[in-house]
Amino acid sequence: MVRVKNGLQRHKRHKKFVGMAKGFSLGRKNVYKQVRLALVKQGQHAYKARREKKRDFRKLWIERLSAVIRSKGSSYAKVIGTMTAKNIQLDRKVLSNIAVAFPQAFDKIYAEIIK
């Protein structure tokens, strides 16, 4: 019976994982056991960061809107409350982009909201 050692497949698998850990420091980039653990932890951080990114962008849009609305003499909460009451369905992302890129258009929208 021929002895099978599985060396080529193991080397290929290790090489793949070590390649994915490029840029890590110390043993986390070249010691297979540490590489595996580091990649698991990296995946956990990536999962968490994808959710945090959504929060961060929403905060950014609210800050931008709040700054523009404050310069017009009102508050963010009042404007959003009025939009909800009048059933104006523009989300914060769109409003923020309009406020930054097209101030005249935002002035018209703001006048419609406050009216």
> What's the pLDDT at 46?
97
pLDDT per residue over 33-62, tens digit each? 999 999 999 999 999 999 999 999 999 999
CA distance 65 to 100: 9
CATH assignment at residue 36: 1.10.1900.20
- Whether residue 65 lies inside any domain: the answer is yes
- Whether residue 101 lies inside any domain: the answer is yes
Identify the band that residue 19 occupies on the pLDDT scale cut at 50, 70 and 90. very high
> What's the pLDDT at 45?
97
CA distance 98 to 94: 6
- Whether residue 1 lies inside any domain: the answer is no
CA separation (Å) from 98 to 2, 20, 35, 73?
72, 40, 46, 18
User: Counting Cβ atoms within 10 Å, is residue 35 exposed (0-12), middle (13-18) or buried (19+)?
Assistant: buried
pLDDT per residue over 72-107, tens digit each? 999 999 999 999 999 999 999 999 999 999 999 999
